[in-house]
C-alpha cells in the first residue's frame, strides 16, 4: 500500500476520500482553487496545496497543476474523485508517467467507455443489450436528422463524450430537432470539449437502473448489486436507492451478469458503474461510468462495504476484499442530493453565503456527506450540490420515513435550496408506491403543490422576536462595555413616556404588506398581527434560532436578517420577508418597466437579437451558461429591444441588466434576429 494520497477534487467527495484514506493510515493531501482556500476539505487534509484561480480550467482541470502539486507534496497516489479529471485518460497516463498511482481504471478502459459510440460497439460484441440508435462517425446535422427519422420520434440526442445530463435533449418531433441539436452540441463542447452526438430511441417511462462493479488486477470481477436512479430532472439524478424496488432475484442476477460482462470486455480495474435503462421486462446498456458515482453511499449502506477503501486497495495491487458469493444485501437505503438551486425557477443554480446551516445528527440510520459548512460561500464556479442525505432502515417504507424526518430537520438559510422540493418528492404517492420512471419528476412538477407563498402568522412573530432579541443582546453587550451600564439609553423594552410599550414593523410578505406590533408584557410579549393577538412566553435565541411559546405552543425557527431582508426557516420551509422600503419598491417598478436581468451569475453564450429588433412574448433573446448548463432568457412580452448590454463571452452577475425592452408596439424596430 502506498503511504500518501493526493485527492484531485473538492467538496464532499474530497472529504469522503479523506475519511477512508485516514482509516487505512494514509497521509492525505488536498488541492484547492482560490475560491476554495477556506473550504472544509482543505482544513481536513494533512496538507493542502493551491492549484490556481477559481475557474476549474485553471485549477481542478489543470493536469499540470495537479501533477506538480503531487510532486511538491511527495504524494505517491492520486484519487480523482468524480467529475473534473476522474474520467480523463490523458490524466491517468500523466500520473503514470510521473510515477504516481492513479486510483482508477486503465486509460484504455476510460477511452473505450468515454466514447459512447465506441462503448456501444464493444457492448454489442460482448452480448450486452443496447437501445436502438445511431452511433456512427458521420456527424453532419443532415445525417443525424436522418438517423432520428429512421429510429422514429421521440428520440434522445446525447453527447458521445458526455455524462451527468449535459449535452442531452429529448426531441418529440422533427421540427424541434435542429434547435435541440445545436443546443446539445454547444453544451457538450463547453462541458467535454467534444460535440459529437448519438441519437437513440427515447423510451417512454423507463427506469434507470445501474449496477456497481469492481475489478482487481488479477482477473477478479464482482458486482455489488444495483441502484435505482430513476428520479431525475433534466437527466440529472435527484434521488437514488438500493436495492431497486420491485426487482426480483432473476432479473437482478441477469443485470449483474451483464454488468460483469461489460467490465470484463474492456479489461476493467477498480470501481465502475454500468448503467441500464429498463422498460417492461427488458433492459438496455446506456453507458459505463469509469469512476466512483455520487450515489455510491447507498450501495455502502446496504452491503456494509467501504467502496473508497476497495478502490485504494485495488489501486495498490491487492485483490478484491470479497468474492461474489460473500456479498449480501441488507435493508434499504435512499439518498437525496441537496442543491443550492431554485425549483420554482426551473432549478436555476443559486449562489450566496450559507448564513445558517444545520443538519440532523448522524447515526447508524443517517449519513450526511457534505462539502460545506456554515459561513461558506456557494460560488458559480462549481456544481451547486451542498450535501447528500443518506438513510438506511430495514425496508423501503421505513427508510423513506426516516428521510422525511431528516429533511424536515435540515436547515439552510442564505441561499435558495431544493429541500422543500425534496420533501414533496419523498411524500408523493407515486414515490411511496415505487411507481418510478425517469419522467416522474417532470410530471409531478406540473401537478405538485408549490411551496406556500404566504407566511403563517407565527413566522412574522418569530422574525420580529428574533430581531428584538438580537437588538437586546447587542445593547446588553454595549451597556456592559460602557461607562454607565445602567443608563436608560441602554434600555430595549420599547418604553414610551405616557404610552404603551411596544415595537412595531411593517413587513412585505410576497405581494402583501403586513404590520406586526409586539407589546411588552411582564415576562413576555403580546403579538398583534392584523386582527389576531398571540401571547408570547419564554422567547430566547439559541444558536441562531428563535425559540418561543406562542399561545401555549412551543415553536422554533431559524431567523436571519440581511439588510432589510429576512429569511425565516419554520417547520422545514423557508419564508422570505422584507421590511418595507420605498426605494426597493421603486427599483422593482423600474425592472417591471423593461429591464431584462440575469437570473443567475454566468457566461453569455449567444445573443439572439440586436438593438431595434421587434420581439414576441416567449421569443429567446440571450443564452447564458452557469455550471455548464444552459439557460435561455426569453421576452416576457411583445416589444422592441432598445439596448443590448453584453456580447457572447461576457461574464454577468445575477441581477445584471442584459438588455432593455420597450413593451408594446412603440419604438422603431425590425424583426430580424442577430446572427447566432
Taking only Cα atoms into account, the Rg of the chain, rounded to an integer number of angstroms, comes to 28
With residue 33 as reference, give the H or E element that holds it.
Answer: strand 27-33
Q: Which of 10, 15, 185, 291 is catalytic?
A: 291
Show Cβ contacts of residue 307 under 8 Å, excluding neighbours closer than 6 positions: 212, 214, 224, 271, 292, 296, 299, 300
3-class DSSP state of 320: coil
Q: Which residues of 590-610 are buried (b: 16+ CB within 10 A; e: fewer)?
A: eeeebbbebbbbbbbbbbbbb
With residue 301 as reference, give the H or E element that holds it.
Answer: helix 296-303
- Give the Cα separation of 399 and 432 in Å (integer): 11
How many Cβ atoms from other residues are within 10 Å of residue 130's Cβ?
Answer: 15
Identify whether the C-beta of residue 619 lies closer than 8 Å to the C-beta of residue 635: yes
- Give the Cα separation of 642 and 659 in Å (integer): 7
- Give the Cα separation of 634 and 567 in Å (integer): 29
Q: Checking phi first, is residue 152 left (phi over 0); if not, alpha (psi -120 to 50) or beta?
A: left
How many Cβ atoms from other residues are within 10 Å of residue 408's Cβ?
Answer: 14
- Give the Cα separation of 300 and 401 in Å (integer): 20
Beta strand ranges found along 305-346 (DSSP E): 332-339, 341-342
Q: Which of 106, 110, 138 is nearest to 122 (CA)?
A: 110
Grid cell, residue 381, equals 464556479
Q: Which of 86, 137, 138 is nearest to 107 (CA)?
A: 86
**DSSP structure string for 111-138:** HHHHSHHHHHHHHHHHT--B-SEE--S-
**DSSP structure string for 384-408:** -EEEEEEEEESSHHHHHHHHHHHHH
What's 463-509 look like in SS3? HHHHHHHHHHHHHHHHHHHCCCCCCHHHCCCCCCCCCCCEEEEEEEE
Q: Is 514 a catalytic residue?
A: no
Strand partners, 331: none
- Give the Cα separation of 253 and 247 in Å (integer): 10
**Which pairing describes strands 77-79 and 4-7: parallel, antiparallel, or unpaired?**
parallel
Identify whether the C-beta of residue 76 lies closer than 8 Å to the C-beta of residue 4: yes
Q: Which residues are catalytic?
A: 291
Amino acid at each position: 500500500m502506498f503511504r500518501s494520497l493526493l485527492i484531485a477534487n473538492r467538496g464532499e467527495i474530497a472529504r469522503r476520500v479523506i475519511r477512508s484514506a485516514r482509516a487505512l493510515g494514509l497521509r492525505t493531501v488536498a488541492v484547492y482553487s482560490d475560491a476554495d482556500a477556506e473550504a472544509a476539505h482543505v482544513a481536513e487534509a494533512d496538507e493542502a496545496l493551491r492549484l490556481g484561480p477559481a475557474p476549474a480550467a485553471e485549477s481542478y482541470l489543470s493536469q499540470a497543476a495537479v501533477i506538480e502539486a503531487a510532486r511538491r507534496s511527495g504524494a505517491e497516489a492520486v484519487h480523482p474523485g468524480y467529475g473534473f479529471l476522474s474520467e480523463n485518460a490523458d490524466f491517468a497516463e500523466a500520473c503514470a508517467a510521473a510515477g504516481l498511482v492513479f486510483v482508477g481504471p486503465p486509460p484504455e478502459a476510460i477511452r473505450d467507455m468515454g466514447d459512447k459510440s465506441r462503448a456501444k460497439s464493444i457492448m454489442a460484441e460482448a452480448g450486452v443489450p443496447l437501445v436502438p440508435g445511431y452511433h456512427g462517425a458521420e456527424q453532419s446535422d443532415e445525417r443525424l436528422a436522418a438517423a432520428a427519422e429512421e429510429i422514429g420520434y421521440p428520440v434522445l440526442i446525447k453527447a458521445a463524450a458526455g455524462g451527468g445530463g449535459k449535452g442531452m435533449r429529448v426531441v418529440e418531433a422533427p421540427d424541434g430537432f435542429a434547435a435541440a441539436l445545436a443546443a446539445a452540441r454547444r453544451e457538450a463542447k463547453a462541458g467535454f470539449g467534444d460535440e459529437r452526438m448519438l441519437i437513440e430511441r427515447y423510451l417512454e417511462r423507463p427506469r434507470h437502473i445501474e449496477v456497481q462493479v469492481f475489478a482487481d488486477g488479477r482477473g477478479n470481477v464482482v458486482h455489488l448489486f444495483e441502484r435505482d436512479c430513476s428520479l431525475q430532472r433534466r437527466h440529472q439524478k435527484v434521488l437514488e436507492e438500493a436495492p431497486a424496488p420491485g426487482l426480483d432475484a432473476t432479473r437482478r442476477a441477469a443485470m449483474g451478469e451483464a454488468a460483469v460482462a461489460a467490465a470484463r470486455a474492456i479489461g476493467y480495474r477498480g470501481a465502475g458503474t454500468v448503467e441500464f435503462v429498463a422498460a417492461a421486462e427488458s433492459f438496455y446498456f446506456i453507458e459505463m461510468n469509469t469512476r466512483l458515482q455520487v450515489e455510491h453511499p447507498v450501495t455502502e449502506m446496504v452491503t456494509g462495504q467501504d467502496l473508497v477503501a476497495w478502490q485504494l486497495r485495488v489501486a495498490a495491487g491487492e485483490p478484491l476484499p470479497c468474492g461474489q458469493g460473500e456479498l449480501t444485501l441488507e435493508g434499504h437505503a435512499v439518498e437525496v442530493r441537496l442543491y443550492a438551486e431554485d425549483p420554482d425557477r426551473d432549478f436555476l443554480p443559486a449562489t450566496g453565503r450559507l448564513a445558517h446551516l444545520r443538519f440532523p445528527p448522524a447515526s447508524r440510520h443517517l449519513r450526511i456527506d457534505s462539502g460545506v459548512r456554515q459561513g461558506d460561500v456557494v460560488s458559480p464556479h462549481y456544481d451547486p450540490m451542498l450535501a447528500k442525505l443518506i438513510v438506511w432502515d430495514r425496508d423501503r417504507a421505513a427508510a423513506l420515513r426516516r428521510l422525511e424526518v431528516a429533511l424536515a430537520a435540515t436547515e439552510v438559510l442564505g441561499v435558495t435550496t431544493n429541500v422543500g422540493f425534496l420533501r414533496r418528492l419523498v411524500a408523493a404517492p407515486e414515490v411511496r408506491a415505487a411507481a418510478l420512471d425517469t419522467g416522474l419528476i417532470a410530471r409531478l412538477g406540473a401537478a405538485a403543490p408549490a411551496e406556500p407563498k404566504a407566511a403563517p402568522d407565527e413566522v412574522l412573530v418569530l422574525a420580529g422576536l428574533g430581531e428584538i432579541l438580537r437588538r437586546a443582546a447587542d445593547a446588553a453587550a454595549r451597556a456592559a462595555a460602557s461607562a454607565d451600564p445602567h443608563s436608560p439609553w441602554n434600555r430595549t423594552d420599547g418604553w414610551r413616556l405616557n404610552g404603551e410599550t411596544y415595537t412595531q414593523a411593517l413587513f412585505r410578505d410576497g405581494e402583501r404588506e403586513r404590520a406586526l406590533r409586539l407589546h411588552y408584557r411582564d415576562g413576555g410579549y403580546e403579538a398583534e398581527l392584523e386582527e389576531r393577538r398571540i401571547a408570547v412566553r419564554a422567547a430566547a435565541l439559541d444558536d441562531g434560532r428563535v425559540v418561543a411559546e406562542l399561545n401555549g405552543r412551543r415553536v422554533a425557527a431559524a431567523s436571519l436578517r440581511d439588510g432589510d431582508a429576512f429569511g425565516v426557516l419554520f417547520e422545514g420551509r423557508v419564508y422570505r420577508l422584507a421590511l418595507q422600503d420605498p426605494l426597493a419598491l421603486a427599483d422593482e417598478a423600474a425592472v417591471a418597466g423593461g429591464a431584462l436581468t440575469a437570473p443567475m451569475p454566468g457566461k453569455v453564450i449567444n445573443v439572439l437579437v440586436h438593438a431595434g429588433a421587434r420581439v414576441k412574448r416567449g421569443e429567446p433573446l440571450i443564452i447564458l451558461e452557469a455550471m455548464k448548463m444552459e439557460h435561455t432568457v426569453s421576452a416576457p412580452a411583445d416589444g422592441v429591444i432598445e439596448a443590448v448590454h453584453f456580447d457572447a463571452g461576457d461574464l454577468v452577475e445575477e441581477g445584471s441588466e442584459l438588455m432593455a425592452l420597450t413593451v408594446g408596439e412603440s419604438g422603431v424596430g425590425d424583426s430580424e434576429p442577430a446572427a447566432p
